[in-house]
């Protein structure tokens, strides 16, 4: 309460007098970032580098739109951070900017994260088209047929060509329904004036295979696969962004090539290398250094791996998180090794406390294996004095980080006294 009160009063009194000096002024003198925001995920690069082949493939797929013909549907597949969204942005900008474009073009982009059903998707798209917000469709209440008819009506009013870009399309659980209606709208007479094309973007390469055969036959999509970036492509992406984000010559060559090499060894993810260089830049700034070196990139990689492991952990099934919580609690007693059976006993207790039936000991061993594979814990085979074997488990990351990732699980089970000192209130 007291903290809340102080915060409120701070918010109200924030007009600094021009001559006022602040404690922040003393924090760092070093000139590292020229524009740190250029390393943020939402930053849109003006040029795409190292993806000439994909750009060309994409532009060819959009050639019918450029020529005013009926669009093909296009689907993009590729892992995280391989440029699907960035390249789409660039290609569509080029298309819209062309003076020779043979059609009136409307692009309707939508990120489907959080859009769970085709019904919601159609409402969101209809509302992008409805000119007056007073007439927006509410998120519930209308029958599905009404929602589709409003949407097609609005879409048909714009004429020309409409491209609907469905980024992260796999988030929509019953996407078949939308795709079926959208691809057949022209032949069913729902669209007579507007030519509709769909662009679907997904990290799930099996996405197309899971669609119903009806949808697949009407979709007739062109597929563009985005492979992971190699080290030299990542280096190009990095150099371009470093030029904008940092002052000249701040980031060393070795730092760039090292970050690119780490990225290509991992998953060829451009977002990851941009994150690495940003974290390394933060270290340099916080420590008052003049350069971002490969040593700092290495340190950044350690932090990045912790963050990545922790976000994977936070998304694991509840039973596995209970195992991880039990291990965190056991690790805080310094005396004994955590064997599989000790871990299983505490896991079972925790599971019962929250009304879960504990899984069998054999199944729990699969969980330990999964956590080990994900680099969240380390399980070592040891030998006892009688020649038998057993496994000993430990966390691979600081306990406090693990506890933060397990916050929801801890909320339901409660804070164990062993870890009380590590759990933030």
What are the residues binding ligand ATP (CB under 6 A)?
A: 41, 45, 48-51, 78, 80-86, 203, 237, 240, 270-271, 274
Supply the minimum distance, in Å, between the C-beta of residue 172 and Mg ion.
Answer: 15
In sequence order, the 6+-apart residues with CB closer than 8 A to the CB of 73 are 183, 197, 198, 199, 200, 219, 220, 221, 222
The answer on whether 283 is annotated among ligand-binding residues is no
Question: Quick one: tokens of 231?
Answer: 């080290």
Which of 56, 134, 44, 59 is CA-nearest to residue 95? 59
Which of 214, 297, 213, 316 is CA-nearest to residue 255? 297
Supply the minimum distance, in Å, between the C-beta of residue 167 and Mg ion.
Answer: 6
Q: How does DSSP classify residue 230?
A: -
Q: Which among Mg ion, ligand ATP, none contacts residue 199 (Cβ within 5 to 8 A by kind)?
A: none
Nearer to Mg ion, 85 or 122 (CB): 85
Q: Which among Mg ion, ligand ATP, none contacts residue 48 (Cβ within 5 to 8 A by kind)?
A: ligand ATP
Q: Which among Mg ion, ligand ATP, none contacts residue 270 (Cβ within 5 to 8 A by kind)?
A: ligand ATP
Match 């994409």 to its residue by tokens: 58
Query: What is the C-alpha separation between 374 and 310, in angstroms, rounded?
Result: 10
Supply the minimum distance, in Å, between the C-beta of residue 189 and ligand ATP.
Answer: 36
Nearer to ligand ATP, 194 or 257 (CB): 257
Query: What is the C-alpha separation between 173 and 119, in angstroms, rounded?
Result: 10
Nearer to Mg ion, 42 or 384 (CB): 42
Nearer to Mg ion, 78 or 281 (CB): 78
Q: Which among Mg ion, ligand ATP, none contacts residue 86 (Cβ within 5 to 8 A by kind)?
A: ligand ATP
**Judging by DSSP bridges, how do beta strands 74-77 and 222-225 pair with one another?**
parallel
The answer on whether 184 is annotated among ligand-binding residues is no
Partner residues linked to 195 by β-bridges:
161
Match 């919601």 to its residue by tokens: 120
Supply the minimum distance, in Å, between the C-beta of residue 48 and Mg ion.
Answer: 13
The answer on whether 54 is annotated among ligand-binding residues is no
**CA angle, 271 then 49 then 267, to 5°:** 35
Supply the minimum distance, in Å, between the C-beta of residue 55 and ligand ATP.
Answer: 9
Q: How does DSSP classify residue 292?
A: B
The answer on whether 333 is annotated among ligand-binding residues is no
Site string for Mg ion, 67-106 (x = CB under 5 A): ------------------x---------------------
Nearer to ligand ATP, 274 or 343 (CB): 274
Element (H, E) at 311: helix 294-314
Supply the minimum distance, in Å, between the C-beta of residue 33 and Mg ion.
Answer: 24
Query: CB count, 10 Å around CB of 409?
Result: 22
Residue nearest to Mg ion (CB): 85
* Residue-by-residue DSSP string for 75-98: EEE--TTSSHHHHHHHHHHHHHH-
Q: Which among ligand ATP, Mg ion, none contacts residue 78 (Cβ within 5 to 8 A by kind)?
A: ligand ATP
Nearer to ligand ATP, 218 or 244 (CB): 244
Nearer to ligand ATP, 123 or 272 (CB): 272
Supply the minimum distance, in Å, between the C-beta of residue 207 and ligand ATP.
Answer: 12
Nearer to ligand ATP, 86 or 376 (CB): 86
* Residue-by-residue DSSP string for 150-188: HHHHHHHHH-SEEEEEEETGGGSTTHHHHHHHHHHTTTT
Nearer to ligand ATP, 41 or 209 (CB): 41
Instruction: Give residue 162's region: left, alpha or beta (phi > 0; psi -120 to 50).
Output: beta
Supply the minimum distance, in Å, between the C-beta of residue 175 and Mg ion.
Answer: 17
> Quick check: 16 and 22 in contact, CB under 8 A?
yes
The answer on whether 85 is annotated among ligand-binding residues is yes
The answer on whether 84 is annotated among ligand-binding residues is yes
Residue nearest to ligand ATP (CB): 83
Supply the minimum distance, in Å, between the C-beta of residue 43 and ligand ATP.
Answer: 6
Question: Quick one: tokens of 411?
Answer: 């909320």
> Quick check: 69 and 196 in contact, CB under 8 A?
no
Q: Which among Mg ion, ligand ATP, none contacts residue 268 (Cβ within 5 to 8 A by kind)?
A: none
Report the binding-site residues for ATP: 82-86, 229, 241
Instruction: Please give the residue ranges that form the binding site for Mg ion (CB under 5 A).
Output: 85
Report the binding-site residues: 82-86, 229, 241
């Amino acid at each position: 309460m007291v903290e809340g009160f102080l915060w409120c009063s701070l918010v109200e009194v924030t007009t600094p007098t021009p001559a006022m000096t602040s404690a922040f002024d003393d924090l760092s003198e070093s000139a590292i970032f020229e524009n740190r925001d250029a390393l943020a995920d939402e930053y849109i690069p003006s040029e795409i580098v190292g993806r000439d082949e994909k750009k060309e493939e994409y532009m060819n797929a959009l050639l019918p739109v450029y020529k005013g013909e009926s669009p093909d549907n296009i689907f993009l597949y590729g892992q995280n951070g391989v440029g699907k969204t960035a390249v789409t942005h660039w290609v569509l900008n080029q298309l819209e900017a062309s003076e020779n474009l043979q059609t009136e073009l409307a692009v309707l982009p939508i990120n489907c994260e959080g859009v769970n059903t085709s019904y919601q998707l159609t409402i969101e798209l209809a509302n992008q088209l409805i000119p007056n917000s007073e007439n927006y469709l509410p998120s519930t209440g209308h029958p599905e047929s009404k929602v589709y008819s409003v949407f097609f009506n609005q879409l048909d009013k714009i004429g020309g060509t409409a491209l609907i870009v469905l980024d992260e399309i796999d988030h929509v659980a019953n996407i078949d329904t939308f795709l079926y209606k959208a691809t057949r709208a022209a032949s069913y007479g729902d669209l007579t004036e507007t030519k509709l094309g769909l662009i679907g973007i997904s990290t799930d390469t099996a996405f197309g295979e899971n669609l119903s055969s009806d949808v697949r036959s009407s979709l007739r999509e062109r597929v563009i696969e985005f492979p992971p970036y190699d080290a030299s492509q990542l280096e190009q992406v990095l150099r371009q962004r470093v030029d904008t984000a940092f002052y000249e010559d701040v980031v060393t060559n070795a730092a760039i090539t090292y970050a690119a090499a780490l990225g290509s060894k991992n998953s060829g993810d451009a977002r990851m290398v941009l994150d690495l260089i940003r974290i390394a830049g933060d270290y340099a700034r916080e420590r008052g250094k003049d350069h971002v070196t490969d040593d700092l990139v290495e340190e950044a990689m350690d932090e990045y791996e912790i963050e990545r492991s922790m976000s994977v952990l936070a998304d694991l099934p509840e039973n596995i998180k209970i195992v991880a919580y039990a291990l965190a609690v056991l690790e805080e007693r310094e005396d004994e090794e955590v064997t599989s059976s000790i871990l299983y006993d505490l896991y079972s207790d925790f599971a019962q406390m929250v009304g879960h039936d504990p899984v069998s000991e054999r199944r729990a061993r699969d969980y330990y294996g999964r956590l080990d594979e994900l680099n969240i814990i380390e399980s070592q085979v040891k030998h006892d004095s009688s020649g038998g074997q057993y496994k000993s488990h430990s966390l691979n990351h600081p306990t406090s980080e693990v506890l933060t990732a397990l916050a929801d699980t801890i909320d339901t089970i409660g804070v164990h006294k062993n870890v009380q000192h590590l759990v933030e209130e």
